[in-house]
Structure 1
């Protein structure tokens, strides 16, 4: 029997495909099962237009079996089969898709149900097999044929005996090498796992003889192994079922089965779209944060299916970074895939699906915030940081989309509130949305800088996340109300009388403040009388965009940019410490130096900043005590 050579182009393509097109060898089984499903689909479509054909779904299946001893893996289908000419055309010419031709000939709408489109998937078998044998008998034919190939050197076709219509693909699995083991493609457990992973939702049963255990008849503790045929795949995916048929438990079970998380999801979203682009999706908002969520190891993305066949485990392009916590899947017939069906071509359809999904996630989160505040706050404690990062990221591109989802702790309510809730209850005379930053709510509560704002009766938002101030600076304002730190130079609160009084004190003691400024040269930008302090003697405020809390966060970064806030030392002119300063200024400049350094270090400690010379600081305290 003579061997037919592949055409030169096909030979090169086969060699390239075996070595580089597919990133994972296990996808060969996905491709062969998808082809088998196509073959059954073709009979189904023929039956729609041919009255002499009937389609009894129970008679159609795909069978997977192994012969471990001889290293054979066989995939059998009861589909339409192939004639000698079709074997020659479809398998002898690489990238000649029989499924694509069938769709064209039968005027089946592109992408509808028939999976195959490139005609290269079959050749993925050569990644794991030394010899590939195809035995096929076509619908309406009396003769079966065997196609066989050992790879790029060509193939043979010869007539054989076969009773049933359909196709058998027999792979002679490669021997193990030092670099790679091929035994897993003969192991029952591994084959089941691959089928469940990629082909769980193929619409026809995928049957396999599996080993089970049972008690021997008449025995109480003596077990035996036995073989039984099982259907491995689920067949009907949950996302194609009517939502009215599904319960909360069904969605939770799917979440667990797909290993999206070990928690119980806070909310699920079931989407079915049948418009310019068709897709189904099931999305989950998790309850608990994954252990690696804020690490480089975490991969965002949704599972992507094409006609029920898994294409990608993590399709990152379907989720924006700020919604990277969302788990779930998307199934579409309209996606443009590359030749290996592993990678998406970045096209308009994909972007449209991603845009719609993002809108839906935001809508569902807003609904959760309105209708189940407790659950939303639970979600926010886990993933609020990611939303705030989304506001800051990409130069604020998504800030308007996310601003209504943000929450911050309120000085008045003693709980998380939204920006909308803050603004809705602002007094008419309040110009700004005030905030204070610190390591914890308790520490912020005690900050001297909050005194004037609190005395005025204004609400303060407490920022304890390192991203908070950066996000708010990117947001700039909310509903035309600008954000203002309680430590900023001008709080916009003082009355004209207060301003005049402060200015008078500043003029009266100008020499003292200038002297203190020189004493702290290089440490502070200025020393001045405070407008905000009531009971505390001293505090630090800032001038410019960079605040003290932002300086601390930048200092912790690996590539520390060494950026410093422009600090101003503010002195409370109504505190008894100020009298000590003015008395010392008239009689003892050394004491003024001592007091100035003590007050400066005291202000640093209040802010949680390090003291440059702790020994000098303690010695100065001892001097005062003497």
Structure 2
């Protein structure tokens, strides 16, 4: 019995985009299908180790490509793990990846090259078949199952399913090719030479044998891939093109990698690794459900696709392969997290990545700037979660500063520029660079020629509360605590009465009123004690539905400002206006990007005071 089922709505939209869009290189479809077949073989090999009762033949696992010029078809088949009927519906009929709607929007708006970049990023490799086929058939049988299933669709919104009694183990996908491609010799996918060219270009590194049927008999086959694991070959024998295609295979990213890293270990435990830094941030970099980790092999046998135990979360953008020699093939994710060898490999992997990023700063600054602009926000999470490598992470990081409006600086270079007498690395956090540069807190530091780091990422609000120094030099927020910028900044006398009076008037809002050493042109600012939550961090907590504890700040006054001096004279004469005190507090709150408790009251009071000046 044949059953017709509708595609999930987003899958249907995606199919239409695939069918009706034009891509500059349609060859990508075969690379995706071969990658899926390779994964199926990996999974069968692993399952045969885990389940000794699974009756499957793993003696000749392979991928087979069958072009048929007469019938205008191309078949890609494997004898891997296969799928059940429910798995076909779940994996082919729907797109269960998070962020699909965003991806679809970008795919609609993208130009040709950008559209290609998105093909592999959301598990949609199978759908790329419809770029070259007007009908696709699939016959699949799960290893160990008695029956298979036949799937067929023209990509027009529905697909059919029916049970097949005598289906071979694995999956066979037959593409009924579009007639217009027959006129293009370069893209005639029913011709063996076209298929051979694509495999050599994109899939030569696949460790399973890929065989091309060149005659009517199954015996007329030829191997078309070298099957050499790139990570096991000497670097001098691997071309840049091979590395790029391998990166695309493991990352599902259509661009070239930013940097390639090799690592290996000998002695107590042996391993080899081939890792990549991407040139742009993955679309799911900050999604909670995003998968991370590198592929794990044991003696060239695939074990796990996303081995999180090998890669800390702040390096979740790192892709590649680690091949260990002594692990058990039946190892689980839970066991991996405690495995001594895995933990040792992880430490060396992290160290290698940090060393590579740091080296890019001096050797290839353009590459480094690309890395930092795309992945810096995620990378800085390590300052919170990886205290063992905190110094190295700080060294590999860079930050905007008052030194230059265009270029970021490293902490090493910042320290080299520190003038005599400066004993701390100063920073200020905020929502934007403009708001920080215009903050009253920065005035005296700018006047003194002290460079200030301008930290605008949300993660900066968190790590700066954890990290207290770099290379022996303290890190200090210019918005917290008292500051001592030199003996020439001694505070004048005669303001004691004003400070006491304002402290009483504003007791509900501030913990203290004092004179400031950090102001030159603004009349007032708000500062916190060391350890207090910053205003931005309080906003972040509220955005997450958590109400932070109420923290009163310190109001600092600029004794050189005419408004403060005039208010002192009024207070000394017994004629000070409480409204002016509240306006000063409100102005300081707004200057740092804070929110007034009663904005209407503030505006009305300000209007009344302005009216009296007319």
Superposed CA offset, 1:224-266 (max 9, x none): xx99746476522222222112222221121123344233211
Question: Residues 206 and 232 of structure 1 are in contact (CA less than 8 Å); yes or no, is this contact kept in structure 2?
Answer: yes
- Kindly indicate whether structure 1 or structure 2 has the higher relative contact order, using CA contacts under 8 Å at least 6 residues apart: 2
Aligned to 1:523: 509
How far did residue 458 of structure 1 move? 1.1
Equivalents in 1 of 2:161, 2:489: separation in Å? 81
SS in 2 for 1:569: strand
Aligned to 2:123: none
Match for 1:612 among 597, 601, 613?
597
Aligned to 1:555: 541
In the other structure, the counterpart of 2:343 is 351
* Pick aligned residue for 2:172 from 174, 177, 188: 188
Gaps of 5+ in 2: 1-38, 67-76, 81-139, 152-159, 176-194
1:473 aligned onto 2:473:
no
Matches within 5 A, 1:314-333: 314-333=306-325
SS at structure 2 position matched to 1:298? coil
1:570 Cα deviation from its structure 2 partner = 1.5
CA offset at residue 350 of structure 1? 2.0
| Aligned equivalent of 2:367, options 370, 375, 390 | 375
Cα separation, 2, equivalents of 1:184 and 1:558: 52
What's the counterpart of residue 409 of structure 1?
400
1:339–1:200 distance in 2 versus 1, CA, 3 Å: farther
TM-score, normalised to structure 1, is: 0.65
Counterpart Cα distance in 1 of 2:517 and 2:475: 19
Q: Which residue of 2 aligns with 1:86?
A: none
Q: 1:268–1:285: 8 Å Cα contact kept in structure 2?
A: yes
1:482-508 Cα deviation digits (max 9, x unpaired):
11111223222131x533x43x2xxx2
Q: Which structure would you say has the larger Rg? A: 1
1:184 offset after TM fit, Å?
9.4
Query: Are residue 336 (structure 1) and residue 328 (structure 2) matched?
Result: yes
- TM-score normalised to structure 2 length: 0.66
Match status 1:569 vs 2:571 = no
Give the superposition deviation at 1:592. Answer: 1.7
Question: Does 2:532 match 1:546?
Answer: yes
Inter-CA distance 585–239: structure 2 relative to 1 (3 Å threshold)? same
Q: What pairs up with 1:306-321 in 2 under 5 angstroms?
A: 306-321=298-313
Report the alpha carbon displacement of residue 204 of structure 1 after superposing the two structures with TM.
7.1
Distance in structure 2 (CA, Å) of the matches to 1:526 and 1:377: 43
Counterpart position of 2:496: 510
For residue 490 of structure 1, give the secondary structure of its aligned residue in structure 2: coil
Report the counterpart of residue 356 of structure 2 in structure 1: 364
Equivalence map 1:165-176=2 (5 Å): 173-174=147-148
Write out aligned runs for 1:14-413 (5 A): 27-28=43-44, 128-129=143-144, 173-174=147-148, 185=169, 187-189=171-173, 205=209, 207=211, 209=213, 229=221, 231=223, 234-338=226-330, 344=336, 346-393=338-385, 396-413=387-404
Q: CA deviation at 1:621?
A: 1.4
Q: Secondary structure at the match of 1:386?
A: helix
TM-aligned CA distance change 1:210 to 1:552, over 3 Å = farther
Query: How far apart, in 1, do the equivalents of 2:162 and 2:361 lie?
Result: 52
The whole-number CA distance in structure 2 between the counterparts of 1:280 and 1:180 is: 45
- The residue aligned with 2:523 is 537
Q: Deviations over 1:544-592 (max 9, x none)?
A: 3125345434433424241344411112222121243134335675x62
Alignment of 1:421 onto 2:407: no
Aligned partner of residue 189 in structure 1, secondary structure: strand
